[in-house]
Structure 1
Amino acid sequence: MRNSRPAVAVALVSAASLALAACSTPDGAGDAASTPSDGASAADCTPEGLQTLTAGTLTVGASDPFEPWYVGEPSSGEGFESALVYAVAEELGFAEDDVEWTTVTFEQIVSPAVKPFDVAAYQTTITDERKAAVDFSSPYLTSRQGVIVADEGPRSDATSLADLEGATIGVTASQTSLAIAEAAWGDDVEITPFNAAGDGMTALSSGTIDAMVMDVDQGVAASTVYFPDTHVIGTLPPVGEPEQLGLVLDKGSSLTACVSAAVDTLEENGTLAELRTEWLKSDDVPELS
């Protein structure tokens, strides 16, 4: 049974703060992984050839699970990143039972400390600063910033950037949504930063703000699962280099090339596209103009 809205809303506040910390403003988003995937040989990219923390086991790190990335526990296989991990594991030759999950903080994922996992999957944006501390796989998702409005209210019928001129727009403080919102509207709106995406969504539902800007994939889940009195009207025009998410590995990990090769294969054979369509449900969200 799905949690009641108040309980889930509280969960979103803490989870979204982590998620949007993961999607912080890039210092220069990476083109791909820290180590090129063409350095992996087929013989090395097997459970027998990979030097994992536990022989024959792929240990995966993740923090608090929330939709659309994880539906239920990370091990469920439900949700975009949970399904992605099992698809990558299968490419590497690991059976489902050979995947072990461990709970970590976001700080553990991106810090230069030795990792308690082989690979982490938790909406982590690839940046040059982070690549100095950890390895990234090839990117598995290019993210966009979505605009969410309340179903009832003066901006409920907005379909363009101009329709929101003069509005109060919520963003997450010090995150990508702030810079992209400023680029989209300039001085034509009043931008209000929130410490967490859940705080902004609560303000939107109460009528304190007119719209909320956040990662569109999380926004779709927020408006359908956690705050069903809201809806996504579109995405903001991109600014600068696109934000891309990657799997995280220890700096200099011998697994990086093989994990990147697995992600590349899933992109090439259409599996990633299928997972995006099934779990993220943002393919048809238009770009606002």
Structure 2
Amino acid sequence: MRLHRTRTAALLLPVLALALAGCSDDDGTAADDATAGAASDTCTPDALETLTAGTLTVGASDPFEPWYVGEPSSGEGFESALVYAVADELGFAEDDVEWTSVTFEQIVSPAIKPFDLAAYQTTITDERRAAVDFSSPYLTTRQGVIVADDGQYAGATTLAALEGAKVGVTASQTSLDAAEAAWGDAVEVVPFNGAGDGMTALTSGTIDAMVMDVDQGVAASTVYFPDTAVIGTLPAVGDPEQLGLVLDKDSALTACVSDAVDTLREDGTLDELRATWLDSDDIADLT
């Protein structure tokens, strides 16, 4: 299996590259076990009912680290490398993978998809499973807290230390529920349309902290907003927050894609990709 492990130089993307990030909702849950168990002889490029015969079309939105380094087709970044690993398991060569740019709304809406699968940090939820299919989860993630290096809360190590702060979240996403569950009324929660808007507010001093997916937060604080840092993660709310590949509802590909993800988990590839591209394992919980 070909995996791309060499990091390219960081590409400074516009702030709005974070606007669709943290693509999660209120009740992250694991994918249904029913998606597993596809017969291996049906999971081949000749047998799979893809949009274009012999081609795997993959949807993604604005690329940003650590999920994509450069263009999605680069093979650099966690999800770009994941897609090529899944494609390889299904028998598609790298040249048989075609990328298409889509919005996050296109990914999670019940409309017919312009892709065979999408890879864009999409949390598995019961609400979304009513509109789309998910593969087996490929990553369990957490919500991180980012503050300015020179701000009042730079040394905070507990939830209580942030009481009274203005905390930014992305509206209608997991960060909102996690922040409210962690602090209740002890902080002022400030919703933003996108994580990039919140990080800009953080660096300008309009808010004191920003909550988002911890791996996204690590990239934001090291690549896009270098005067900020992730100081910890929030306690989990409800079921573990898990990311899955998105497919059209009742797609004939779902079982095969889930089998491919399961194989990558079992053979250690997902752990290898996490170790290569994600840097959040040493970030402690805020107690």
What is the TM-score with the length of structure 1 in the denominator?
0.91
- The offset of 1:153, in angstroms, is 2.0
| Cα separation, 2, equivalents of 1:37 and 1:269 | 16
Give the unaligned 5+ runs of structure 1: none
Distance of aligned partners of 1:114 and 1:139 in 2 relative to their CA distance in 1, 3 Å threshold: same
Q: Which residue of 2 aligns with 1:233?
A: 231
CA separation in 1, counterparts of 2:29 and 2:187?
A: 31
Match of 1:18 in 2: 20
Task: Indicate the residue corresponding to 1:125 in structure 2.
Answer: 123
Q: In the TM superposition, what are the counterparts of 1:174-185 in structure 2 within 5 Å? A: 174-185=172-183
Instruction: Structure 2: give runs of 5+ residues left out of the alignment.
Output: 1-8
For the residue of structure 2 that corresponds to 1:18, the secondary structure is coil
Q: Give, in whole Å, the separation in 1 of the partners of 2:167 and 2:123.
A: 23
SS at match of 2:133: strand
Quick one: distance in 2 between partners of 1:79 and 1:73?
Answer: 10
List structure 1 runs of 4+ shifted beyond 4 angstroms.
1-4
Choose 266-275 or 172-181, whichever is displaced more.
172-181
| Contact 1:33–1:139 (Cα < 8 Å) also in 2 | no
State the one-letter code of the partner of 1:36.
T
Shift of the alpha carbon at 1:34? 7.6
Q: SS where residue 147 of structure 1 aligns? A: strand
| Alpha-carbon distance, 1:55 to partner | 1.7
C-alpha distance in 1, partners of 2:232/2:20?
23
Count of residues in correspondence between the two structures? 279
2:135 maps to which residue? 137
Q: Does residue 80 of structure 1 match 2:78?
A: yes
User: Residues 235-254 of structure 1: matches in 2 within 5 Å?
Assistant: 235-254=233-252
1:136 shift after superposition: 0.8
* Structure 1 residue 97: Cα displacement: 1.0
CA separation in 2, counterparts of 1:73 and 1:3?
10
Amino acid at match of 1:12: V
Question: Does the 8 Å CA contact 1:34/1:135 hold for their aligned counterparts?
Answer: no
**1:44-81 deviations in Å (ceiling 9; x for gaps):** 11112212122211111111111111111110000111
Matching residue of 1:267: 265
2:4 corresponding residue in structure 1 = none
1:105 deviates by 1.6
* Aligned counterpart for 1:106 among listed residues 94, 104, 107: 104
Q: Compute the displacement of 1:128 (Å).
A: 1.5
Give the drift of 1:25.
1.9
Which residue does 1:37 correspond to in 2? 36
Q: Distance in 2 between matches of 1:195 and 1:108?
A: 17
Shift of 1:33: 4.1
How far the C-alpha of 1:162 sits from its partner, in A, is 2.0
1:150-165 correspondence runs (5 A): 150-165=148-163
Corresponding residue for residue 210 of structure 1: 208
Between the aligned partners of 2:183 and 2:97, the Cα distance in structure 1 is 45
Amino acid of the structure 1 residue aligned with 2:221: S
Aligned to 1:266, the other structure's residue is in SS state helix
Q: Is 1:57 aligned with 2:60?
A: no
Residue 3 and residue 76 in structure 1: after superposition, are their counterparts in 2 closer, same or farther (change >3 A)? Answer: closer
In the alignment, residue 276 of structure 1 is paired with which amino acid?
R
Q: Measure the CA separation in 2 of the matches of 1:64 and 1:74.
A: 9
Instruction: Please list the CA deviations of residues 112-156 of structure 1 after superposition, one character each: whole Å capped at 9, or x if unmatched.
Output: 222221111111111122212211100111121100111112211
For 1:165 and 1:79, locate their aligned partners in 2 and report how far apart those are by CA, in whole Å.
Answer: 35
Distance 2:181 2:57 in 1: 40
Contact 1:119 1:249 in 2 (8 A): yes
Matched position secondary structure for 2:63:
coil
Instruction: Please say which of residues 182-191 and 143-152 is displaced more in the overlay.
Output: 182-191
Specify the SS of the correspondent of 2:20: helix
Q: State the Cα distance separating 1:2 from its structure 2 match.
A: 4.9
Deviates more, 1:43-52 or 1:221-230: 43-52
Over aligned residue pairs, what C-alpha RMSD do you find? 1.6
SS of residue matched to 1:186: helix
> Identical aligned pairs, as a percentage?
75
For residue 158 of structure 1, give the secondary structure of its aligned residue in structure 2.
coil
